[in-house]
Chain A
Amino acid sequence: MGEVKAKKTNESKANQEEEIPGVITTTTSAIHNFLKKTKAQDLINWGRKNSLWFMTQPMGCCGVEMIATGCAHYDTDRFGIIPRNSPRHADVMIISGYVTKKYLPALKRLWEQMPAPKWVICMGDCSISGGPFYESYSTVQNIDELFPIDVFIPGCPPRPEALIQGFVELQNKIIAKKDRGTEY
């Protein structure tokens, strides 16, 4: 780990020379690294865990349950889990259905558009293992090799309660600093 960090700082020094003169930019992650070792990170994580905004992106049957979870009856707003339409507002991407060969590039792009720290939740059997469509000619299996997935929610489709449970598990992971979305 130490070596990698040193390498990173070297690279950033080299890059600094190409920056605009007169503008001081820091690319070092020293403050960040320092914070990780202190209690301040706990405070940051507490904030993060209580504002998990997710991206509404209905891709399949689970998408309907995802919408229902974010709306009036189940009302995830009370946990700070708010549906957002734009990936740039979102912290959590829910893969809510079958990922096809045609949709995978778009999904990767959505993931890149989301600002860090960000997490992925696999909702439903289709995104975990292919579900009923695992043998289809147009779907992609093993999504967990492509995205750093924190929580898997089995079910076809899982009930909204299960999705809320998944969010709670993600919150626990963030508090325990064991989530895969942020690098510790």
Chain B
Amino acid sequence: MDARTIIQSLTGAFSEAISEAEVESPVRIRAYVDGSFAKEVCQYLKDSLQFDHLCSVCGVDYPKRNELEVVYHIASYDHPVVLTLKARLPRDSPEIESIVPVYWNANWYERETYELYGIMFKNHPNLKPLVLPEEMLGEWPLRKDYEGFPNRTARNLV
């Protein structure tokens, strides 16, 4: 399966949900997805384009743009193309549909993203902290404005 045909198929099927789709290299594609369509797009990827392997789900904090991004890396067991699918969410109330019904192993990734970034995954079967102790819930330690990380070692060298 070729990267360009994947992009064409994806933008053809979801013309309003997919934006800024680009081919980075023959094995890497990047695209932004509208948060409310994430689950449908994933279902389409899995059913029609052989993207049957979810590599990871993670969050990225962009405080300057006042945005959080949820990043899905979706790959396949058959072809080497990896799709980086990103969804922009507002920083104050980040909410997105869970993709656990499509990819079973998204379960823990979403729990982890929830406890580290505070991104709510709607309709997740068991949204509770995974690696952090219960009392740290609500601190969202991986956000850039987290106070509990002193960062005294690395001075700003440049």
Contacts and interface: CB of A to CB of B under 8 A. Distances in A.
A101 B132 CA distance: 9
Contacts of B153: 135
A102 B153 CA distance: 24
B132 A135 contact: no
Interface stretch (B13-21, B44-52, B76-84, B141-149): B141-149
Counting chain B residues whose Cβ lies within 8 A of the other chain, the interface size class is: 10 to 19
Contacts of A137: 136, 139, 141, 146, 148-149
A135 B149 contact: yes
B5 interface: no
* Chain A contact surface mostly: loop
Nearest to A138: B132
Contacts of B151: 135
Contacts, number: 20
For A101, A135, A136, the residue with the greatest tally of chain B CB atoms inside 10 Å of its CB is: A135
Nearest to A101: B133
B73 to A, nearest CB: 25
B150 interface: yes
Interface string A92-106: 000000000110000
B65 interface: no
B97 to A, nearest CB: 29
A137 B141 CA distance: 7
Interface string B119-158: 0000000000000110010010100001011111100000
Contacts of A135: 149-153
Contacts of B139: 137
Contacts of A138: 132-133, 136, 141
A135 B148 CA distance: 9
Nearest to B135: A101
Interface of B: 132-133, 136, 139, 141, 146, 148-153
Interface of A: 101-102, 135-138
17 contacts: A101-B133, A101-B136, A102-B132, A102-B133, A135-B149, A135-B152, A135-B153, A136-B149, A137-B136, A137-B139, A137-B141, A137-B148, A137-B149, A138-B132, A138-B133, A138-B136, A138-B141
